[in-house]
Amino acid sequence: MNTDIQSLIDQIDSREGELLDLLCKLVSFRTPAPPARNTGEAQAFMASYLEELGFSVDRWEMYPGDFNVVGVLKGTDSEGYKSLIINGHMDVAEVSPDEVWETGPFDPVVRDGVVIGRGTADMKGGLAGALFALKLLREAGYPLPGDITFQSVIGEEVGEAGTLDCCKRGYSADLALVVDTSDLQIEGQGGVITGWITIKSPQSFHDGTRRQMIHAGGGLVGASAIEKMMKIIQGLQDLERHWAVTKSYPGCPLGSTTINPAVIEGGRHAAFIADECRLWITVHYYPNEDHETIVEEIETHIRRVADADPWLRDNHPQFRWGGKSMIEDRGEIFPSLELDPTHPGVRLLASKYQAVTGQPAVLSVSPSVTDGGWFGHEGIPAAIFGPGKLRHAHAINEQVSIEELKDFTRITLSFIAEWSATRK
């Protein structure tokens, strides 16, 4: 390891207080989503911090009160050396009023080797560590030949895809490092898509006509949309079980492809036969699958289920998939990300992990989802790598280990320095 880099890494212990102060500052910004629309102050701080490090900053409003911030540090030889995106989200998980925290979710406390506060694990710890690594490099005047792009985005907690907006704005690189919760494992991920299945009757009927619909000689062809949705749910369960025995992916527990009937809405009131029923489902799929193919599989199967029913055959279910926001349109997409263990950036990151910790890096599949899938979807190689354990994310007294945060900062600093000096 370059002796100059080692001297910077050694500073992380002696300047631990600065790193923790930075994390506590980020946690103190109240940015839960939902309700969202609250990242303006936090992102203004982020923009100022990046500008002080010499980044040119692009800041734009995605929703009223919610801003993306992207800083670009041009390398000394952009054409000849590898570029890097460092990506993280400023929004954090929602907090219920009745949650009992040690202090308060946005009043961080440092004790017993951890920092406690909402977002410490998911994922302001990753943001703080990466920022501090860049600060040490910039203070030392360490040469970075390749371009560094730092993205602080909004909306990850509610599917608003601030990262996708960055991609559409033209930001790209030879590798994207998503510093989200991974317990310092280098990860890909499966994908998630939500969808609405709607059954709607062309007519509405008084509940007093039900006898005519269900008994011999009634002479009235009609149905309860709620009862017909039961057949659709059964069909989804059959498909889910079929996937469980026919699909697998290395690093994923068997049966990880699930179809969750999460919310059901239907009917008007007790005097009507239910003429409409809506089912909100959440679908998980493997890293080597895409949501377009998954949607096609589900729709094909459910249409066949409908064709086997005399009423549904003439009143096929309707589908609405995904969405840009769980808040605005009750839908989201998190594309999958297949980690390439042979990618030079992944191999370099793994070597830096081993150099710092003395242990071999673990390459795995995240049991959750992050914005990392959007990079894969847009053709940008990416890896998820950040401090924090998933069991602490979204939890009361959310916390991150200080030692793990420092290891993350050491690894990231060393990785940035060498990746930026890697020739294209």
Active-site amino acid positions: 91, 156
Distance CA 21, CA 124 (A): 12
Distance CA 313, CA 301 (A): 13
Distance CA 407, CA 413 (A): 10
Distance CA 67, CA 45 (A): 12
- Residue holding tokens 């030079």? 344
For 240, 256, 257, 301, 347, the CA distances from 246, given in Å and listed in that order, are 10, 12, 10, 15, 31
Nearest residue to 96 (alpha-carbon basis) of 35, 151, 54: 35
Distance CA 3, CA 8 (A): 9
Q: Classify residue 415 by burial, with Cβ atoms within 10 Å: 0-12, 13-18, 19+.
A: buried
Residues 6 or more apart from 170 whose CB is under 8 A from it?
A: none
Residues 6 or more apart from 385 whose CB is under 8 A from it?
A: 177, 178, 179, 182, 184, 185, 186, 187, 349, 408, 411
For 216, 224, 361, the CA distances from 315, given in Å and listed in that order, are 22, 12, 53
For 187, 331, 369, the CA distances from 180, given in Å and listed in that order, are 10, 22, 10
Nearest residue to 194 (alpha-carbon basis) of 317, 282, 299: 282
Tokens of 4: 């100059």
Do 28 and 106 touch, CB atoms closer than 8 A?
yes
Do 406 and 17 touch, CB atoms closer than 8 A?
no
For 248, phi then psi, to 5°, come to -160, 165
Please say whether the dihedral angle defined by the alpha carbons of residues 17, 22, 23 and 29, taken in this order, is positive or negative. positive
Tokens of 125: 């710890």
